[in-house]
């Protein structure tokens, strides 16, 4: 399942909402198109998880399963640099996970999440780009096995090309200044400025998990974390450092890098060989950590 906005939108021309290192413009049309390949094997529908703010998530399930075993739950949080996209895209943190807990405790849960279909003891949380940062912070907030979620047990986290930053520019940040999806001078500084309080900026815990303002991870237990990185991502060194430092602290971390790929390559070209390889690594991670 994934968090998303399902409100109908009308096409409106871009308009200026802020002067930020140039002009920031908002548009109803994304900068790239992602085709939908529907082979009929999966169905989906939208449900409200936060009625106060009218926030929805999208549930997916197989039309037919080859196994009678209950399915693990994979929760995917869409990335958006903390500030692009629709204002109604949810910034869920714990809210949607609590919704899942409510389903696990309910006598009559969502029909796609009944106890004979969904395995609430095998939940995996993932996020790409800025939401990769949120996946990390959920791992810190929930702790190993997510004890505060009653019947819901998180087994692991998939952190995809996280949007980590810092006050010192890395060599990869200098080398890959003009990749298609993000670049340092135009995108990253702007996104961080729009999101973080100016007094915190690059030291905000959602941007830099190892700065003094961030929770100390030294003695903290964490569920297994899979870190997936694009080799030509200007954020690569921050992402690699994240995985290395967690390993040095004794955390269970897996790391995979896709040479020559750019930020969020698996979204831009989701049928490519590297994107398929990434999916296989995620499947293996889920299988290895489901016991």
Q: Is the model more confident about 93 or about 209?
A: 209
Whether residue 8 is predicted with pLDDT greater than 90 in this model: the reply is no
CA-based nearest residue to 99, from 160, 52, 157? 52
Return d(Cα 285, Cα 124) in angstroms, integer. 10
Q: Which residue has the tokens 């003094």?
A: 212
Return d(Cα 226, Cα 132) in angstroms, integer. 11
Return d(Cα 169, Cα 235) in angstroms, integer. 10
Among 189-203, 205-219, 246-260, 267-281, the least confident range? 189-203
Query: Residue 17's pLDDT is what?
Result: 46
Return d(Cα 53, Cα 195) in angstroms, integer. 20
243's CB contacts (< 8 A; 6+ apart) are 225, 227, 229, 253, 255
188's CB contacts (< 8 A; 6+ apart) are 165, 173, 182, 234, 235
159 neighbors 227 (Cβ within 8 angstroms): yes
Q: Is the dihedral of CA 223, 241, 277, 32 positive or negative?
A: positive
Whether residue 249 is predicted with pLDDT greater than 80 in this model: the reply is yes
Whether residue 13 is predicted with pLDDT greater than 70 in this model: the reply is no
pLDDT tens-place string over residues 137-185 = 999 999 999 999 989 999 999 999 998 876 656 555 444 444 455 554 4
Angle at 96 between CA 121 and CA 181, to 5 degrees: 105
Mean pLDDT of 26-31: 52
Q: Which residue has the tokens 């899979």?
A: 226
Long-range contact list for 210-214, CB < 8 A, 24+ apart? 210/241, 210/242, 210/245, 211/166
Q: Is the dihedral of CA 126, 127, 132, 134 positive or negative?
A: negative
Mean pLDDT of 174-203: 54
pLDDT tens-place string over residues 275-285 = 999 999 999 99
271 neighbors 263 (Cβ within 8 angstroms): no
> What's 111's DSSP letter?
G
pLDDT tens-place string over residues 32-85 = 566 677 888 999 999 988 888 788 888 999 888 777 789 999 999 876 655 555
Per-residue CA distances from 19 to 23, 83, 129, 203 (Å): 5, 15, 24, 23
Whether residue 241 is predicted with pLDDT greater than 80 in this model: the reply is yes
Residue 229 pLDDT level (bands cut at 50, 70, 90): very high
**Percent of all residues in the chain with a pLDDT value above 90, rounded to a whole number:** 43
75 neighbors 93 (Cβ within 8 angstroms): no
Report the run of H or E that residue 266 belongs to, with start and end. helix 265-268
Return d(Cα 218, Cα 236) in angstroms, integer. 23
Hey, how many other C-beta atoms are within 10 angstroms of the C-beta on 11? 7
Average pLDDT, the chain: 79
Residue 4 pLDDT level (bands cut at 50, 70, 90): very low
């Amino acid at each position: 399942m994934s968090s998303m906005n399902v409100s109908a939108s009308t096409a409106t021309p871009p308009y200026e909402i802020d002067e930020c290192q140039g002009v920031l413009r908002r548009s109803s049309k994304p900068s790239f198109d992602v085709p939908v390949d529907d082979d009929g094997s999966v169905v989906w529908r939208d449900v409200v998880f936060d009625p106060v703010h009218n926030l929805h998530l999208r549930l997916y399930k197989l039309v037919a399963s080859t196994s009678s075993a209950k399915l693990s739950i994979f929760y995917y949080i869409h990335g958006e640099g903390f500030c692009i996209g629709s204002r109604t895209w949810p910034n869920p943190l714990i809210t949607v996970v609590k919704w899942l807990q409510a389903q696990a405790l309910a006598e009559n849960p969502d029909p796609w999440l009944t106890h004979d279909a969904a395995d609430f003891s095998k939940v995996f949380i993932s996020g790409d780009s800025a939401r990769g940062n949120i996946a990390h912070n959920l791992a810190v907030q929930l702790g190993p096995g997510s004890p505060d979620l009653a019947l819901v047990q998180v087994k692991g986290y998939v952190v995809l090309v996280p949007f980590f930053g810092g006050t010192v520019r890395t060599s990869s940040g200098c080398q890959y200044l003009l990749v298609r999806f993000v670049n340092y001078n135009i995108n990253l500084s702007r996104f961080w400025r729009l999101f973080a309080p100016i007094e915190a900026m690059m030291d905000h815990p959602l941007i830099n998990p190892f700065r003094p303002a961030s929770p100390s991870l030294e003695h903290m237990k964490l569920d297994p974390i899979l870190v997936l990185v694009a080799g030509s991502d200007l954020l690569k060194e921050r992402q690699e450092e994240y995985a290395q430092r967690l390993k040095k602290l004794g955390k269970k971390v897996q790391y995979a890098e896709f040479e020559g790929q750019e930020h969020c390559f698996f979204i831009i070209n989701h049928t490519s060989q590297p994107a398929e390889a990434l999916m296989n690594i995620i499947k293996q991670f889920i299988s290895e950590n489901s016991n």
